Amino acid sequence: MEGKESIRVRNENIHNERLVEKKTLKVIAEKYGISCERVRQIVRRVENGRKWKKVYPEFPELISEIEWDKRTYNCLYNDNLTSMRISDFVEYTKHNDIRRIPNLGRITAGEIQSKISNLGYDIEHINKKRGRNG
C-alpha cells in the first residue's frame, strides 16, 4: 500500500497534468490506472485543499483566519469580532466577558481559549466566571 506522502505527490501530479498540461481525463486515467471520474475527484480535492490553505494560513493574524467550529465562528461573527487582529481580540477579552455573546457557552469559550493559546497568546482569563459587576 502506498504511503500518504506518495498519494499526495500522485494527486499533485494528476492535478498538474490535468490543469497545467491540459491532458484529457482519459489519458490521465489510463496512465494511473484509475477511472476518469476518479481523476475529476482528485483534481477537485487538490483544488479545494489549495483554497483551504489560502483561507487558513499557518500563522493567522485575524480571528477570521483561524479554523473555528461552526458555532464558534457564528458567535464571533455575530458579535463583529472576526475582523479583529488576534492581539486586539486578546486585549478585548481582558475587558469584556465574551460569554455574554448568545450561544457562546463554556465549551465554545474553551475552544476559543485553546486555539488562541496554541498560537502563543495568554488568554487563560476567558473561561473564568466573573461576577455581575465584572
Tell me the domain boundaries of the chain.
4-55, 63-127
Q: Which residue has the cell 473564568?
A: 128
Half-sphere exposure of 53 (CA within 13 A, CB side): 5
Q: Residue for cell digits 481559549?
A: 113
Q: Give the residues of the chain that fall short of pLDDT 70.
A: 1-2, 51-57, 127-134
- For the chain, how many residues are written? 134
Residue 5's SS3 state is helix
**Given this model, what pLDDT does residue 4 score?**
73
Nearest to 123 by CA among 33, 114, 132, 131: 114
Cα gap 38→7, rounded to integer Å: 13
User: Look-up: residue for cell 465549551?
Assistant: 107
Q: What's the grid cell of residue 79?
A: 458579535
